[in-house]
Amino acid sequence: MFVQVKDEIKKNARTSIIEGVIFLILGILIFCESFVSSEIFSMFVGVLILILGFYTFKHAYDVRSHIWRMIGNVLLGLLYLYVGYCFIAYPLDGILSMALFLGWGYIFIGIYELIVAAGASGIPHKGWMIFASIIDIVLGLFLVLLWPEDSIIVVSTVIAVEIMFTGIMLISLGGSALSSLKNKDN
């Protein structure tokens, strides 16, 4: 039983390190191609919103016995399709609106993560959790305060930095798990 758990931890730790390296490389690429990645990201979000719109239509069909829920889902689906189309057809406008949404989102997520990290006891590398949450708050403030003039570059930079720090965190957590297993073997 212990051997199975140990093997599972090793596998997950290695996966965490590999994912961390991938995140780090993607973050660097996004950082280097800020303007292009902003437009691509906006179009990607548009495609996701379009998919959500079609899913909402499917849900409207599923609840067709409740007329008002069906009507609400059809209207919501039409809204999703329109917003998704706008993100694809007008990616720069999509980035501007996304900048405010991401900015406030990063601020609230950073505050939440800071509260969770401050209340967590006995977690290794707790400092990284606190540092990452402070970075989220600062990046969110940059997005909100620099809107709209510098939003296009800032969105890409914020996403790149967030992805890079997530990669660093995954690498350090995976490395920590592997080193703790090695220490227990000795």
- Domain assignments of the chain as residue spans, ordered by start: 23-181
Q: In this predicted structure, what is the pLDDT of residue 116?
A: 83
CB 106 within 8 A of CB 158: yes
Digitized pLDDT (tens) for each residue of the chain, 186 residues in all: 455 656 666 777 888 889 889 989 988 887 887 667 778 878 888 898 899 889 888 888 887 888 888 898 899 889 989 989 988 999 888 888 888 888 899 999 999 988 888 887 777 777 888 888 898 899 889 888 988 877 777 777 777 888 898 889 888 888 887 887 777 666
Question: Any residues with CB less than 8 A from the CB of 112 and at least 6 apart, and which?
Answer: 133
d(CA 34, CA 154): 8
Could you give the angle at the alpha carbon of 33 between the alpha carbons of 32 and 34, nearest 5°?
Answer: 100
Q: In this predicted structure, what is the pLDDT of residue 35?
A: 67
* Tokens standing for residue 74: 């059809």
State the pTM of this model.
0.53
Q: In this predicted structure, what is the pLDDT of residue 111?
A: 94
d(CA 162, CA 128): 13
d(CA 30, CA 94): 18
